[in-house]
Amino acid sequence: MRKHLLTTLLCLVCSFVGVKAQEDAIGEQYSSLSADSIVAEVGLIPESLDANVDSLFRTWHVQYFSKIDEYCHDDVENVYFPDSIYVQRLERLPRIISLPYNKVVRDCIDLYAGRRRDLVRYMLGMADFYFPIIEQILDKHGLPLELKYLAVVESALNPVALSRVGACGLWQFMLPTGKSYGLEINSLVDERRDPLKATEAACQYFKDMYAIYGDWNLVLAAYNCGPGNVNKAIRRSGGKNNFWDIFPYLPRETRSYVPLFIAANYIMNYYCDHNICPMQTNLPLATDTVMVNNMLHLQQVAELLHLDIEQLRALNPQYKRDIIPGNAKPSVLKLPAAETYAFVGKEDTVHLYRAEELLANCIPLNATDRAMSHTATKEKITHVVASGENLYTIANRYGVTAKDIRKWNGLKSNRVPRGKRLKLYVDNGGVSFASNQSPKDKEKQPVTTAQTTSKEKPGDVKTADEKTAGKNFISYKVKPGDSLYSISKKYPGVTTSLLQKANGLTGTGLRPGQVLKIPVG
């Protein structure tokens, strides 16, 4: 309290002595920004600032591992400081990118320190986990470390953040841009959600844009709206190449982007002066990775290693359906360091555990076949729209674009009614999904059904069991160690449920020497 009174008195004195001259100088330096334009544009904030903080606080990081720092003074109200204090603090930050101060920047700082204090608390907690990862990659590429604060603006450090128009991950890549920078995006895997690989892609983008503009503020603007819009703003400004000079000519949503980046630099360093306490977390900062060479479900790993499934998902956010397609190519599984050796020791057991149940409808594609055929993983499916879904959420689920879905289905808008059947052509990531639901189950929930031929119409979709009617059979003699799942993997299009139906089995138990009928043809 005493500190706050002294601060308030200092502010009152400074407001009459010397500060006005400094503020006038700031105003002259950015005279191109009229008061009207500032008021009009600051209201345009990124979606990250509209994030549902209550939802973020219920994530695995917070729900299971949060703690309170009893020595930090937290408050619900922001602390007032004169402009001169902000100028001095920004000048003290170690930086390569210029961090100027003006009315727009002040308003953005006030936004973080005022209305979005809870979000700042969350981001400060997540920074302990994600900033070391990001800093290491930025340093490897020789890029300014303060670029890490762009992830604050883009996603509020939420690796699975999804925007209303389909941008995803810490760095909010759109699907075409992500793919152009080497990120794998399909119905199983979305590497935009992988902090390591997405940061590598972001670094490549930063380097490409800096080679064009040679100015970091323009690079940031290009990251938000694309180089085409930045080039257009430069032309309209008469060839000027300073962000603040082209400010009025940029898209409206981009004008507050650089000021928000500067504000993020400020608030992530001076949060304590504004009586904001970080959300303290006991995250497993020590992690290690293992390579998986067969299809695997995260639930198999979680149950046998006694890990929380939400913890595994948080460490491996790129796997959208909890399935690691190691059958298609060696795939990374990140684990708490203490559990790595346990996984290696139990790997064979992990792969067999509950495989018939958790991977029952999964048909793995052989890695060799996938390598030989570029179209091997292309699959035509039908998606039935569920309540609350739109083209962007559906597109993100399957690793396609909303534009593609509109084209495939002759749609003129992104609005789709509940129950509508959409035809999609997806990359299944090396694992095809065959539905074995009953008609009654299909009525209860939306389904995605694999189709085997492009001639079938959406209204003619059949379940995998129905498609086996009239097929021929071959015999297979069960060997020691065989299971329905391991046998089904030997025959494309065959699932454990098909084997059970073809052989009249009520369970999954087998005995060596038993002869099974395998539906083929």
Catalytically active residues are 154
Half-sphere exposure of 462 (CA within 13 A, CB side): 10
Alpha helical stretches, state H, 215-374 = 216-225, 227-236, 243-246, 252-255, 257-270, 298-304, 309-315, 337-352, 355-358, 367-372
Tokens 């699907």, located at residue: 175
How many Å from the N-terminal Cα to the C-terminal Cα in the chain?
A: 81
Nearest to residue 287, comparing CAs of 321, 265, 314, 252?
314
Task: Give CA–CA dist 103/26, Å, rounded.
Answer: 9
Residues ≥6 apart with Cβ < 8 Å to 317: 159, 160, 193, 194, 195
Tokens 């602390």, located at residue: 79
Backbone dihedral angles phi then psi of residue 291, each to the nearest 5 degrees: -95, 130
DSSP label at residue 185: B
Task: Give CA–CA dist 520/492, Å, rounded.
Answer: 9
CA dihedral 66, 71, 77, 81 (to 10 degrees): -130
Any bridge partners for residue 66, and if so which? 281
| Cα angle value 415/395/377 (rounded, 5°) | 140
Strand ranges of the sheet holding 378-384, from the earlier edge strand across to the other edge: 421-427, 378-384, 448-451
Q: Which amino acid is at 310?
A: E
| Cα angle value 388/451/191 (rounded, 5°) | 60
DSSP label at residue 248: G
